[in-house]
Amino acid sequence: MKPALSSPFLRACRREPTDYTPVWLMRQAGRYMPEYRAIRERLGFLELCKNPEAAAEVTLLPVERLGVDAAIIFADILLPVEAMGVGLEFSRGEGPVIRRPVRGAADLERLADVDPREATPFVFEAIRKVRAALKERVPLVGFAGAPFTLASYLIEGGPSREYLDTKRLMHDDPAAWRLLMERLVGVTVGYLNGQIAAGAQTVQLFDSWVGILSPDDYREFVLPHTRATVNGITAGVPVIHFGTGTAGLLELMRVAGGDVIGLDWRVDLGEAWRRVGYDVGIQGNLDPALLLAKPAEIRREVEAILRRAGGRPGHIFNLGHGVLPETPVDHVIAFVEMVHELSAR
C-alpha cells in the first residue's frame, strides 16, 4: 500500500506547503476518552498492547472522534525490551516497573538478545490492521523509545526524579554504558524498521527523559547512539525526534538527527525553530494543561503558537507532551478544529 504522500501531515514532515497546519496529539488515545476506559476495564495495559485487534481499535478511535491528521499506533516504548528478561510489569496507577534493573556490567551479561520480529509481532500485526482500516484517510505514525530513555528505565527500574543510578553508570563505567546503549540501538532500529515494513509511514523517537542531562553529558554519552538509531531507520521515512525538558539540548538533538524536532511546552516555538534551523520541521508545542482551560484561552494560545511558527512549511501542531487524563474530550475536539481553522492558508 503506497503512503498518502499528499496528506498535510506527511507534506509537513517534508517541509512542503500545506493548506493548513496538520495536528495530532501524543497520547491521543488514552484515559481521557471514555471509549478507551471501557476497553481498559476488560484488558490490562500489556494485554491491550499485545492484542492486535484491540490495539488497532484504540488507535483508530481518535481519528474518528477528534479529526486529527495522523494516527499513532497504540503500543509502549518498553515492549521491545520486555523480552530481554528484565521483569517488566505495568502496575495500575504506578506505570512501568522493571523488577530486575541493570546496574552494572554483570547485569548486562544476563540480558537476552532480542529480535523485535520475534518479540513484538503483535505490534506489527496491529499496524497492518490499522493501515487496512485507515486506507488513505490519514497517515500512521510508529514510534519507539530512544536508547537513552530505554536505558534510564532499565537502570532506574521505572520513572525517576533525579536519575542518579543512570548518571552513576554513565560516568563510573562508560564501557558498560556504551555496550548497553549499542544493544538498545540495535533493538530500537529493528523495532522501528519492523513497524515501517508493516505500514507505518512516519516514526517518532521518544527521548522522554533526556532533558535531565547536561549538554556535555548528552554530547558524550547519548548523541552518537541517537544518531546511529536515526541513521539506521529505513531511508525515506520521516523521523520525528522528541524530548522533554530539552531547551538546553535542541542544537545537539538537531545534530543527532531527525526530519522534525519535537518540542515540549517549556520553550518558545519560534525561537526554538530558529535555533535548530529552518531546514528541519518543528512539532509542538501547546502545554497539555491548557486543554483543561476554557476554549477561549485554548484558542488564544493556539493563535500565539501559529504566529510563532510564522506560516513556514514544516510545522506540525501537537502538545508539548501527552494528553492528560483529566482533559475534557470536547476541549480536544475544539482544539483540533481551532488549529485547522486558524491556520487555513
Calpha distance 295→303 (Å, rounded):
12
Residue 148 to residues 88, 138, 175, 217, 308, Cα–Cα distance (Å):
17, 30, 15, 11, 30
Torsion of CA 220, 223, 227, 229, to 10 degrees: 100
Chain-centroid distance of CA 268 in Å reads 20
- Concerning whether 173 is annotated as a catalytic residue, the answer is no
Q: Are 322 and 332 in contact (CB under 8 A)?
A: no
Look at the alpha carbons of 193, 181, 49, 262 in this order and tell me if their dihedral is positive or negative.
negative
Write down the catalytic residue from 15, 32, 69, 76.
76
Among the listed residues 177, 240, 183, the one whose alpha carbon sits nearest the alpha carbon of residue 206: 240
Write down the catalytic residue from 11, 15, 27, 183.
27
- Concerning whether 312 is annotated as a catalytic residue, the answer is no
With b meaning 16 or more CB within 10 Å and e meaning fewer, what string describes 66-84? bebbbbbbbbbbbbbbbbb
Residue 9 to residues 3, 12, 23, 124, 208, Cα–Cα distance (Å):
11, 5, 8, 22, 22
- Concerning whether 76 is annotated as a catalytic residue, the answer is yes
Calpha distance 142→156 (Å, rounded):
26
- Concerning whether 36 is annotated as a catalytic residue, the answer is no
Q: Which amino acid is at 314?
A: G
- Concerning whether 191 is annotated as a catalytic residue, the answer is no
Write down the catalytic residue from 11, 69, 131, 153.
153
Catalytic amino acids? 27, 31, 40, 76, 153
